[in-house]
Amino acid sequence: MKTIPLVIGNWKMNKTIAEASALVKSILAMGPNFKDCEAAVAPPATALFSVGELLKGSQLRLCAQNVFYKESGAYTGELSPLFLQEVGCQYVLIGHSERRQYFGETDADVAKKLHAALAHHLTPVVCVGETLQQRNEGLTVKVVTSQIKKAFEACSVAQMEKVVIAYEPIWAIGTGVNATPLQAEEVHQVIRKSLADQFDKILASKLRILYGGSVKASNAKELKAQPNVNGLLVGGASLDAQEFVAIMRA
- Contacts with ligand PGA, residue ranges (CB under 6 A): 10, 168, 173-174, 212-215, 233-237
Task: Give me the least distance between CB of 234 and ligand PGA, in Å please.
Answer: 5
Is 115 considered catalytic here?
no
Say if CB 215 and CB 232 are below 8 A apart.
Answer: yes
Say if CB 157 and CB 202 are below 8 A apart.
Answer: no
Task: Give me the least distance between CB of 74 and ligand PGA, in Å please.
Answer: 30
d(CA 74, CA 202): 42
Is 188 considered catalytic here?
no
Residue with smaller CB distance to ligand PGA, 173 or 204: 173
Q: Which of 38, 168, 185, 243 is catalytic?
A: 168
Task: Give me the least distance between CB of 233 and ligand PGA, in Å please.
Answer: 5
Residue with smaller CB distance to ligand PGA, 219 or 226: 219
Residue with smaller CB distance to ligand PGA, 199 or 244: 244
Residue with smaller CB distance to ligand PGA, 15 or 204: 15
Task: Give me the least distance between CB of 201 and ligand PGA, in Å please.
Answer: 28
Catalytic residue ranges: 96, 168
